[in-house]
Amino acid sequence: MRGILKKKNSKDNCVTGDLVEFGEDKAITKVYPRQNIIHRPLVSNIDYLVIQFSALDPKFDIGRFNILLLNSFYYNIKPVVVINKIELMDDEEMKELEEQLNFLKKMEIEVFYISTYKSIGIEKLEEYIKDKITAFGGPSGAGKSSLINMLQEEKVLEIGETSKKNSRGKHTTKGTTLLPMKNGGWVIDTPGFSSIELPPVETAEELAGLFTEFNEYKTCKYSNCIHINEPECGIKNELNHGISQSRYDFYLWCYKFYSEERWNKY
């Protein structure tokens, strides 16, 4: 990239997904304005963010899942959920997982339960993301590269193992790669992460706005209600009915984090 285009200390001068112009020496001379950008994973101009976890090995983690979901709403990118390795679960475990993710229906978020080993659910997903640009994000070891190898034209991505000791991924994918899909559209493989950051939300109102399933129940007595200690709160009234307790608990957890670690420091 031409030095003149680079802002100092900026990680997003040019990212995977950018539309660019380049000269004969292949140096990038122009980066076009972006339709969108997300920082975890760092990609731009995408139609969907697939949030991919494995059911087991490593075990599904609703806390980290919720953080990724919050990021996709913060950056205004449509999330699609993929749960891989479902062949490792018995019926009981599967039912439990589906219950945990039931709240996504209300938010009109598609969930695909798949297994790349047993070729379960791949075609449906393929159909859904056809002709779109889709980035895959999620923890290391979830099987992102394994899945993308099935969707793209050539099997070129390296596949890792999960550690026998703690069943964590081994951070096999190091870079972010955009690849054409067999039937049209593009997929982006990204490195898995071990830690996930909360997005830079600035106020409680903004935070509540990222929980889109709250919208339907905002019949709160006070128009500036943040659904915590206020009486006659539409959200709290719906707990365990329209609003899932675990999502509300996650909301409280975020609120506590932001008010203790961020908002008082601005």
Ligand X SMILES: Nc1nc2c(ncn2[C@@H]2O[C@H](COP(=O)(O)OP(=O)(O)OP(=O)(O)O)[C@@H](O)[C@H]2O)c(=O)[nH]1
Summarize as ranges the residues that interact with ligand X (CB under 6 A): 84-85, 87-88, 115-117, 140-146, 159-162, 169-173, 191-192
Binding residues for Mg ion restricted to 133-152, rule: CB under 5 A: 144-145
Radius of gyration for the alpha carbons in the chain, expressed in angstroms and rounded:
20
Based on the shown chain and the rule CB under 5 A, indicate whether residue 235 belongs to the binding site for Zn ion. yes
Based on the shown chain and the rule CB under 5 A, indicate whether residue 116 belongs to the binding site for Mg ion. no
Q: Which stretch binds Zn ion (CB under 5 A): 78-86, 186-194, 202-210, 217-225?
A: 217-225
Q: Binding partner of residue 85 among Zn ion, ligand X, Mg ion, none, CB under 5 to 8 Å per kind?
A: ligand X
Tell the smallest beta-carbon distance from residue 183 to Mg ion (Å). Answer: 22
Cα 234 to chain centroid distance, Å, stands at: 28
Query: How many helices and strands (H and E) does the chain possess?
Result: 8, 10
Based on the shown chain and the rule CB under 5 A, indicate whether residue 84 belongs to the binding site for Mg ion. no
Tell the smallest beta-carbon distance from residue 187 to ligand X (Å). Answer: 12
Tell the smallest beta-carbon distance from residue 46 to ligand X (Å). Answer: 18
Closest by CA to 41, choosing from 168, 188, 209, is: 188
Q: Is the peptide bond before 231 cis (omega within 30 degrees of 0)?
A: no
Closest by CA to 151, choosing from 117, 129, 126, is: 126
Based on the shown chain and the rule CB under 5 A, indicate whether residue 247 belongs to the binding site for Zn ion. no
Binding residues for Mg ion restricted to 168-207, rule: CB under 5 A: 172-173
Dump the DSSP string for 86-137.
GGGS-HHHHHHHHHHTTHHHHTT--EEE-BTTTTBSHHHHHHHHTTSEEEEE
Q: How far apart are CA 101 and CA 79, in angstroms?
A: 13
Q: Binding partner of residue 150 among Zn ion, Mg ion, ligand X, none, CB under 5 to 8 Å per kind?
A: none
When the beta carbons of 103 and 112 are compared against Zn ion, the nearer one is 103
Based on the shown chain and the rule CB under 5 A, indicate whether residue 66 belongs to the binding site for Mg ion. no
Q: How far apart are CA 171 and CA 159, in angstroms?
A: 10
* CA 187, 149, 197, 1 torsion-angle sign: negative
Binding residues vs Zn ion (CB under 5 A): 220, 225, 227, 233, 235
Binding residues vs Mg ion (CB under 5 A): 144-145, 172-173
